[in-house]
């Protein structure tokens, strides 16, 4: 049988290190636990880390993504469920990580645990693990179901990432298509059409009206383009500075929620995210106040975050949660109604799960419908702009041929 090196703390809290033969690391860890020891690590004798071997992997230099955190949490949960000690699970997840930064973070967390720091507190020291993960981990440590809460944390992060990806995908294609079309049209107007106009004027030919409009537009852009771009850049810079102030960000996010199409999408996405995260925390045994404090900064819209903060203050003062969530231009109206039902019946976590499922499906449907509507609209717009430029161009060529 293979030889393993173990470290543990005995019943009196004293650290011990030794070597034993066992069929597997999990079986040795279970055997040591039955003796009343707190198992810290179990490693095969002669094993060495893969840090040096993977040092030249360029993927290790990339920043940590949400999907990397999700995978690490799932791996740790599976290893804990299989009987491996937490420290072994962390070090194994670090060895399997494709990001050097995440590897260092996991190893640092393992070091902090060896020093006696709780797992949740060690996670809280790193920004890649948000407050939801930390809070659920704290619950798992207290209840003994650490593997289950790590899986739930990973699933919550995955749903949030998918919501964000769906929204970016729905808006990204039309924007990219429009930018490409405007680029082609601008090239024609600023370079091709003026040369053709000079050629026609040299031959004494009169430009067609549509071509003359493009020539006039090109002349205006060349004469006023520099200061127009300067003013636009200055306005954007001022807008960005205002946006990063607390009041400016709050006003901008509130304005976004009032927009006809985008605002409704943001409200649906924010409602789904809040319902999912808040429901998971409540269902895991976290108090309402602590759960609200945890999800208060999860969303990207400060208007919705402010509503959650107001709800937390109202609950702290002895009021109900549903009334504050019903504020205009905030969460979707059904949320406050369902929360009121959940508060009255004592099934708030189940109600929030139903709300999250409904609005996640609603968001997917709205994004699909938006993409179906925007695609022909963008095609018509792009076709109109590019078509006008090309028709004007060929009319000018026809005028040459017709008078040649």
The region of weakest confidence among 126-135, 187-196, 226-235 is 187-196
Of 345 and 177, more confident = 345
Best mean pLDDT range from 3-7, 170-174, 276-280: 276-280
Delineate the domains of the chain, giving CATH numbers in brackets. 3-157 (1.20.81.30), 158-404 (1.20.81.30)
Of 324 and 303, more confident = 303
pLDDT for the residue 45? 63
pLDDT for the residue 24? 75
- Nearest CA to 331 out of 354, 299, 361 is that of 299
Asked if residue 51 has pLDDT above 50, the reply is: no
> What mean pLDDT is predicted for residues 283-301?
85
- Nearest CA to 382 out of 178, 232, 170 is that of 178
Q: For 100-116, how does the pLDDT look when each residue is reduced to its tens digit (9 = 90+)?
A: 888 889 999 999 988 88
Residue 287 vs residues 28, 315, 338, 341: alpha-carbon distances, Å = 38, 11, 19, 18
Of 271 and 384, more confident = 271
Asked if residue 331 has pLDDT above 70, the reply is: yes
pLDDT for the residue 238? 93
| Pair 189, 217: CB distance under 8 Å | yes
> What mean pLDDT is predicted for residues 341-351?
87
pTM score, whole prediction = 0.67
């Amino acid at each position: 049988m293979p030889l393993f090196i173990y470290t543990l703390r005995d019943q009196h809290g004293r650290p011990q290190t030794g070597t034993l033969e066992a069929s597997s690391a999990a079986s040795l860890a279970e055997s040591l636990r039955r003796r009343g020891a707190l198992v810290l690590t179990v490693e095969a004798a002669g094993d060495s880390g893969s840090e040096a071997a993977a040092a030249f992997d360029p993927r290790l230099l990339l920043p940590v993504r949400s999907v990397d955190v999700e995978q690490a949490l799932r791996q740790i949960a599976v290893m804990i469920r299989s009987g491996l000690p937490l420290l072994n699970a962390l070090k194994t997840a670090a060895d399997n990580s494709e990001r050097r930064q995440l590897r260092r973070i996991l190893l640092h967390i393992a070091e902090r645990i060896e020093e006696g720091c709780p797992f949740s507190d060690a996670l809280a020291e790193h920004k890649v693990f948000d407050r939801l993960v930390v809070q659920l981990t704290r619950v798992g440590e207290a209840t003994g179901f650490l593997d289950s809460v790590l899986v739930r944390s990973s699933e919550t992060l995955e749903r949030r990432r998918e919501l964000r990806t769906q929204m970016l995908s729905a808006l990204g294609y039309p924007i990219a298509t429009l930018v490409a079309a405007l680029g082609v049209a601008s090239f024609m107007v600023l370079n091709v059409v003026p040369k053709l106009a000079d050629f026609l004027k040299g031959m004494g030919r009169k430009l067609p009206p549509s071509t003359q409009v493009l020539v006039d537009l090109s002349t205006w852009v060349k004469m006023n383009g520099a200061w127009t771009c300067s003013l636009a850049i200055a306005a954007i810079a001022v807008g960005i500075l205002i946006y990063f102030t607390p009041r400016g960000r709050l006003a901008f996010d509130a304005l976004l929620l009032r927009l006809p199409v985008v605002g409704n999408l943001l409200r649906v996405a924010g409602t789904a995210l809040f319902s999912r995260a808040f429901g998971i925390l409540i269902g895991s045994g976290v108090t309402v106040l602590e759960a609200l404090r945890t999800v208060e900064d999860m969303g990207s819209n400060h208007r919705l975050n402010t509503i959650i903060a107001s709800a937390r203050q109202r609950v702290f003062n002895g009021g109900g949660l549903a009334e504050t969530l019903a504020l205009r231009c905030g969460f979707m109206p059904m949320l406050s109604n369902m929360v009121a039902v959940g508060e009255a019946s004592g099934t708030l976590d189940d109600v929030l799960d139903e709300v999250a499922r409904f609005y996640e499906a609603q968001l997917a449907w709205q994004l699909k419908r938006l993409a179906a509507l925007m695609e022909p609209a963008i095609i018509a717009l792009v076709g109109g702009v590019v078509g006008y430029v090309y028709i004007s161009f060929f009319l000018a060529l026809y005028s040459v041929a017709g008078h040649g």
